[in-house]
Chain A
Amino acid sequence: DSGVTQTPKHLITATGQRVTLRCSPRSGDLSVYWYQQSLDQGLQFLIQYYNGEERAKGNILERFSAQQFPDLHSELNLSSLELGDSALYFCASSVATREGPSSYNEQFFGPGTRLTVL
């Protein structure tokens, strides 16, 4: 158990709908990362938040958005869903919160949310 929790575990919805995925990071971790895992694209970085602020953006569609709340949990919002959005969505959090040459900010992943768009 990594200490990162994600809800829900499974989500089945229809095209055009909107869903929200939730992530609670490990205690004390300030960074939250979202990744999408699909058969054709592999594991792709979507977005990173650090202490409530967006820190880095990857291959995230405009229909997707995220935020990190004061209690450090994060939500990933997916709207106008398409069949191709069906995938596993993982949240990860960093064990290190400090900056400096000795910190590698190892990432620990949650169990994921499996999204199926019908």
Chain B
Amino acid sequence: QQQVKQSPQSLIVQKGGISIINCAYENTAFDYFPWYQQFPGKGPALLIAIRPDVSEKKEGRFTISFNKSAKQFSLHIMDSQPGDSATYFCAAKKDRGSTLGRLYFGRGTQLTVWP
């Protein structure tokens, strides 16, 4: 059972455009929502993360929007660049503040940014 559902599976965006990846979850115990970026042959790298007590977090060209009532969150990549071409994973975790920390991952979105 996939606890975090991610869409779309793949995304093609023109350079300079906005890339949007959506995720949804059911478990209200989740209290931390990170996004990871993975390049071929590499491990996932933490990109940006959000807590459920804020509705938006921005770091440079990357923004997470969080809708607690809808149990949805999304990643927006502004001014997308060819170097952003990678696979993006949303994830969720519960038990904030404890040493338990398993991440529940979405299935990933393969982003391609055309020059």
Contacts and interface: CB of A to CB of B under 8 A. Distances in A.
Contact of A109 (B45, B96, B97): B45
Contact of B43 (A50, A103, A112): A112
A42 B107 contact: yes
B96 A48 contact: no
Interface of B: 32, 34, 36, 41-46, 49, 51, 89, 93, 96-108
Contacts, number: 75
Contacts of A111: 41-43
Interface string A41-62: 0111100101000011010000
B11 to A, nearest CB: 17
Among A55, A102, A107, A112: residue with most chain B CB under 10 A: A107
A56 B41 CA distance: 27
Contact of B89 (A2, A43, A55, A102): A43
Contacts of B105: 42-44
Nearest to B89: A43
A31 interface: yes
